[in-house]
Amino acid sequence: MSVTLDIRLKRANKVYHEGEAVAGVIVLMCKEALQHHGISLNMEGSVNLQLSSKSVGVFEAFYNSVKPIQLISNNIEVAKAGKIPGGKTEIPFEFPLNTKGNKVLYETYHGVFVNIQYTLRCDMKRSLLAKDLTRNCEFIVHCQVISVFTKHGTARSLLPKFLIKGHLDATNCVISQPLTGEVMVENSDVPIKSIELQLVRVETCGYARDATEIQNIQIAEGNVCHSLAIPIYMVFPRLFTCPTLETTNFKVGQ
């Protein structure tokens, strides 16, 4: 007596904005009629913080993960206890993506010490003999107005003599748009091997502040032609970047 439970969102890319409704169907597939004690759907959004081992000891870091901050929580009962006929059953649902009180929805983000995640969980309770069924489904929240704060440097001079100039088109970037700019090698005594662009995030949990690499891409390989502008172009990886965030408990910056 097998039964499968699945959550299918209407949007293929699973991206939602605040105020929109998260809609979809719960799909139940079973060969014969099935008795159950109620199906419920739960929407949750939370920020998980983990302390860096730099600021506290390893063990503390392991145990002391800070209590998650709940952003949104919503529960509805999809079906009361009863029977489901055999075959495929689809139960549509819809959640408004609204926060209660003064809470703010943050953009979905998977970082090292900070994780912002939104999930839908569907539970089907069953009689004592059969196990309860659970299904999780993550969806992604995009915030409407977003920006990333980025610093940039120009013309540095280190041991071998060289002069490299460059600029970024904007220091405030829209996260869905790529980071663009230019860099130009004016001269260099030593042949250049490679120019790389590193995207770093700074996460702050409480007192700990950590910078970790998100992505590193090469924009020039080999000894490039001097005084020829080389484009800087990077698409922000989805989920692993988020707009600069500052809250009382944690901060994320790039």
The site for another protein (CB under 8 A) is made up of: 11-13, 110-113, 115, 178, 191-192, 195, 199, 212-225, 228-231, 233-235, 237-238, 240
- Based on CB atoms, which residue is closest to another protein, 164 or 220? 220
The minimum distance between CB 108 and another protein, in angstroms, equals 11
User: For 191-210, b where at least 16 C-beta lie within 10 A, e where not — what string?
Assistant: eeeebebebebebbbeebeb
What residues contact residue 120 under an 8 Å CB cut-off, 6+ apart?
A: 7, 9, 22, 24, 41, 42, 43, 95, 136, 137, 138, 139
On whether the CB atoms of residues 78 and 26 are closer than 8 A, the answer is yes
The minimum distance between CB 171 and another protein, in angstroms, equals 20
On whether the CB atoms of residues 193 and 238 are closer than 8 A, the answer is no
- CA-closest candidate to residue 61, choices 208, 250, 240: 208
For 175, the token pair is 């996260």
- CA-closest candidate to residue 95, choices 18, 173, 202, 172: 18
On whether the CB atoms of residues 48 and 114 are closer than 8 A, the answer is yes
- Based on CB atoms, which residue is closest to another protein, 70 or 194? 194
The minimum distance between CB 120 and another protein, in angstroms, equals 16
- Based on CB atoms, which residue is closest to another protein, 11 or 54? 11
- Based on CB atoms, which residue is closest to another protein, 28 or 183? 183
On whether the CB atoms of residues 22 and 105 are closer than 8 A, the answer is no
- Based on CB atoms, which residue is closest to another protein, 19 or 178? 178
The minimum distance between CB 152 and another protein, in angstroms, equals 18
Residue that the structure tokens 């993550």 belong to: 138
Question: Which one-letter amino acid corresponds to residue 47?
Answer: V
- Based on CB atoms, which residue is closest to another protein, 40 or 48? 48
For 28, the token pair is 């139940």
- Based on CB atoms, which residue is closest to another protein, 170 or 229? 229
The minimum distance between CB 243 and another protein, in angstroms, equals 16
The minimum distance between CB 53 and another protein, in angstroms, equals 12
The minimum distance between CB 74 and another protein, in angstroms, equals 23
CA distances from 134 to 61, 84, 122, 126 (A): 30, 16, 6, 11
